[in-house]
Structure 1
Amino acid sequence: MMFSFLFLLFMPIPQVRTGSLLTGTYDPNSTALINERRDIKEIDVLRQIINQETLIRVAVVKDVRAVVDDVRSVKRSMASSETMVSTLQQTLESLKSQVDSLNRDNTLAQKVEVLQRQVYTLRQTKTLKKRVETLERQVNTLSQDNALQRKVETLQRKVDSLTEEQTREIKNWQEKNQEIEQKFNRNIAEVYELLNNRTLETIKKDLKLYVDCKHHCLQGQTQSGVYRISPFGNESQIDVYCDMVTEGGGWTAIQKRVSGSESFDRTLAEYKNGFGNANDSYWIGNDTIHQLTKGRNSSLYVSITIKNGTTFYELYQEFSINDEADNYSLFLGGPATGTLGDSMLKTGDSNKDLSGMSFTTPDRDNDRYSIGIGNCAARPRSRGGWWFNWCSYAFLNGPWYPAVWQKPWYPTVESGLTVKGTMMLIRRH
């Protein structure tokens, strides 16, 4: 490409004939004139070509100069690369010399061998230590076994050292034991002989202890009436009324009133031990109530029969009282259901709620009535023991007709004058 540009640059320019124009003759139709005109046009074209060639020459010169500069730059780079190659060759030769020197130096190899021997020695030492620890454990075990053996030997010597007198004493005890056993067998035979005429069922009945009325019910009793129970054990049997019909039966009456034969205007000591007759009217006793309900979940069933024959009731799911040291305080829990309405637990007046209250009697004021006003249990219309708060809306131990008994169960039963009978029944869950 560059050589083509040079050829055009030096190519000769054709000569233009101008004679006819300079002679002064002018014929527009003459062949000479036409040729001259054609030559002029060719001259113009050649001029344009020359101009373009000039421009091309300038460009080519620039390109050549650039190529020359590139060649010079490449030469400089090649010179620098040759220098670097020379430096690298020198460095490589130096490294080779160092390697040769290291190969000739055996000190490093000797150090490596020494370290290897030390590692081997350490490994052997560690193994030896483990063996020593194992031997120590075995020695300790043998020592313990040896101590135990010595103890066994000591005990054996003690056994061997028993005298003939001690041996005779042991023999005497064995003979006495045989005599006691023979006497016991004779007594058993006598008992069987005495009981020969009694049936097995009679014996079981005599020996059976019934804790409460539910116990009787579980043994098949279905008739309501007076039964004997032993809440404290066989030595303290008491008679109580058992309801075997209500809510499936098994209810023990802790309070029963069917007449005015028993006054409930009693001292704390009388309420503690109980009073009355289970066939008519009675209070079972605060100690007995505590014994029947402690450690057990029990329910309370209250019933009031009025003189027209209607009976109202209220059932509380939780009931118990504490012991005398805690003034026989009452615990009562719901839900409460029935036809009497809840007049003990949630009355709508916190001064009338009875759960948590201590037992109060005319001679023992444990209620919360205002100081200086008096004792709820000693008021004329409410004389009798009860778990009073600031008195109450429920009170089943009031004075019997013809005396005035106020609020047996307010508001369902407002006056004791209408009451025919009451009962408080408990049953363990």
Structure 2
Amino acid sequence: MMFSILLLIFVPKSEAKTGSLLTGTYDPNSTALINERRDIQEIDVLRQIINQETLICLAVVKDVKAVVDDVSSVKRSMESTVTIVSSLQPALNTLKRQVDFLIRDNTLAQNVKSLKSHVDILLIQDKISAQKIENLERRVDTLSKDNALQQTVDTLKTRVNSLSRKQRRKNKKIVMICEKTIQETEQKFNRNIAEIYELLKNRTLQIVKKGSKITDCKDHYLQGQTQSGVYEIYPFHNESQVSVYCDMETEGGGWTAIQKRVSGSVSFNRTWAEYKNGFGTPNDSYWIGNDVIHQLTKRSNSSLYVSITLQNGRPLYEFYLQFSVSDEKDNYKLFLGGPATGTLGDSMLDTGYPNYSDLSGMSFSSPDKDNDRWSGNCAAFYGKGGGWWFNRCHGAFLNGPWSSAYWYRAWYPTIQRESMVTETMMLIRRH
């Protein structure tokens, strides 16, 4: 653009010179004409200079464009290189960490050096051992040729074997003596244990005989009764006896059954008075009576053992360490303490629903006397008559209608269907 402007500036001047020639005023020696020639020459020089500068500028522009293209190419190469380096950076970092770890871990090099030293030592020792073995072999070869020495060796072997047989016989004799001594000691120990057991048994019988009449099944057991069955007890310390079923086999024996059911022949849909005094027969099904339960548990701490037998004959149980029942004035309130252990699962003490089915601290209810926390009467709900300790209402109810759909939650959730049950027992034993 600059060169075009310069050309436009000089062109009018040359045209002026030409015009003067055309007008007829041309004088070759005139000063003006001389000046015009000089100006024309200068314009020609300037044109040549301008043309040269234009060519130089075009060349420079071409070179600059080439440089720009080269720079762009280098930039693209650099961007590609940066991308490759970025992709390789995690691997480079991992390698760097490994190299740093190897540089820091001089222990490996030291261990290798130590192992190499040990190997060198072992090689030397192996060489020495091989030399010793070779020397011993030569000595053995030499000694084997000496018959007298061989005879001596044989003699020594014979003597060693003889001494070995004697020692074995002696050891055997010692072992027999020890075994005999141990056997005699065991027999003596067993006799002493039997004598001590007999003395304790006699002492227990004397203690029981010195007291009043037998009050529970544990007294029968202490007197030597080991057969389960129906026995007579005197829980009120007078002539009034009560027939009960005694379990002399479960968990050491001496358990008094306060509830027992083996069939539906005995209805448990009873009144408050019947649950107070007891009903049924111990040979089949019965409730011992709330007054008797109170008498049996007021004198000392007692445990409760609940047993349920299924149709397939499998027995399940739950054991409660503490069990007692208050008197009638307190509505025969139940006190139950754990820990509860067994195969039935706890459905009375700590059921997970304390305001609904935990029974410890609950009063006894019957179809004709409502003492539960529910607005209705759990003992008479929908014809499911039966006395029990209810909350709102229960998760365990062993006195419901036997093996029927109305027997609701006999022992929830272990017993899902009451028709699965063939026998129930509630056993107590004083500590």
TM-score normalised by length of structure 1: 0.50
Query: Displacement of 1:307 after TM fit?
Result: 1.0
In the TM superposition, what are the counterparts of 1:190-339 in structure 2 within 5 Å? Answer: 209-339=213-343
Does residue 367 (structure 1) correspond to residue 376 (structure 2)? The answer is no
Tell me, in whole angstroms, the C-alpha distance in 2 between the residues paired with 1:355 and 1:402: 26
- Asked if 1 retains the 8 angstrom alpha-carbon contact of 2:307 and 2:426, the reply is yes
1:388 alignment partner AA: F
Output aligned runs, 1:72-221, within 5 Å. Answer: 209-221=213-225
Aligned counterparts of 2:272 and 2:406: Cα–Cα separation in 1: 22
Distance in 1 of aligned mates of 2:380 and 2:404: 18
Q: CA deviation at 1:415?
A: 2.3
- Partner Cα distance (1:305, 1:402) in 2: 16
Please list, as runs of the form range in 1=range in 2, the aligned pairs for 1:383-402 lying within 5 A after superposition: 383-402=385-404
Q: Which amino acid aligns with 2:362?
A: M
Report sequence identity in percent: 70
Find the residue that maps to 1:236 and give its secondary structure.
coil
Task: State the one-letter code of the partner of 1:415.
Answer: R
Q: Which letter maps to 1:281?
A: S
Aligned residues: 223
SS in 1 for 2:392: coil
CA distance in 1: counterparts of 2:429 and 2:408, whole angstroms: 28
For 2:382 and 2:291, how far apart are their aligned partners in 1? 27
CA distance in 1, matches of 2:417, 2:383: 10
1:115 counterpart residue number: none
Q: Distance in 2 between matches of 1:398 and 1:415?
A: 13
| Equivalent-residue separation in structure 2 for 1:403 and 1:274 (angstroms) | 25
2:381 partner amino acid: R
Residues 109-162 of structure 1, C-alpha deviation per residue, up to 9 Å, x if partnerless? Answer: xxxxxxxxxxxxxxxxxxxxxxxxxxxxxxxxxxxxxxxxxxxxxxxxxxxxxx
Q: Residue 224 of structure 1 contacts residue 243 of structure 1 at CA under 8 Å; is this kept in 2?
A: yes
Residue aligning to 2:353? 349
Distance across 1 between alignment mates of 2:349 and 2:411: 12
Q: Using the alignment, how far apart are the partners of 2:404 and 2:323 within structure 1?
A: 32
**Larger-Rg structure:** 1
Q: Which residue of 2 aligns with 1:412?
A: 414
**RMSD of aligned C-alpha atoms?**
1.8
Are the counterparts in 2 of residues 287 and 323 from structure 1 also a CA contact under 8 Å?
yes
Instruction: Tell me if 1:428 matches 2:417.
Output: no
2-structure distance, mates of 1:328, 1:208: 26
CA distance in 2, matches of 1:427, 1:349: 28
CA contact (8 A) 2:234 2:240 kept: yes
- Structure 1: runs of 5+ lacking an equivalent: 1-200
For 2:302 and 2:392, how far apart are their aligned partners in 1? 26
Contact 2:404 2:418 in 1 (8 A): no
Q: Residue 391 of structure 2 aligns to a residue in which SS? A: coil
By how many angstroms is 1:295 displaced? 3.2
TM-score normalized by the length of structure 2: 0.50
In the other structure, the counterpart of 2:103 is none
1:208 Cα deviation after fit: 6.9
Amino acid of the structure 2 residue aligned with 1:233:
H
Residue 276 of structure 1 deviates from its aligned partner by 0.4
What CA deviation, in whole Å up to 9, does each residue of 1:30-60 have, x standing for no partner?
A: xxxxxxxxxxxxxxxxxxxxxxxxxxxxxxx
Q: From the superposition, tell whether residues 221 and 233 of structure 1 become closer, same or farther in structure 2 (CA, over 3 Å).
A: same
Q: Distance in 2 between matches of 1:403 and 1:236?
A: 39
Deviations 1:312-340 (A, max 9, x none): 10000000000000000000000000000
Query: Per-residue deviation at 1:402?
Result: 4.4
Amino acid at match of 1:394: A
Q: CA deviation at 1:416?
A: 1.4
**2:188 alignment counterpart:** none
Listed as ranges, the matches of 1:43-82 within 5 Å are: none
The amino acid that maps onto 1:389 is N
Moved over 6 A (4+): none
Tell me the distance in 2 between the aligned counterparts of 1:227 and 1:377: 31
* Superposed displacement of residue 395, structure 1: 0.6
Which ranges in structure 2 are unaligned for 5 or more consecutive residues?
A: 1-204
Mark the CA change 1:240 to 1:224 in structure 2 (over 3 Å): closer, same or farther.
same
CA distance in 1, matches of 2:324, 2:313: 30
Aligned residues of 2:212 and 2:237 also touching (Cα < 8 A): no
What is the letter of the counterpart of residue 344 of structure 1? M
Corresponding letter in the other structure for 1:245: E
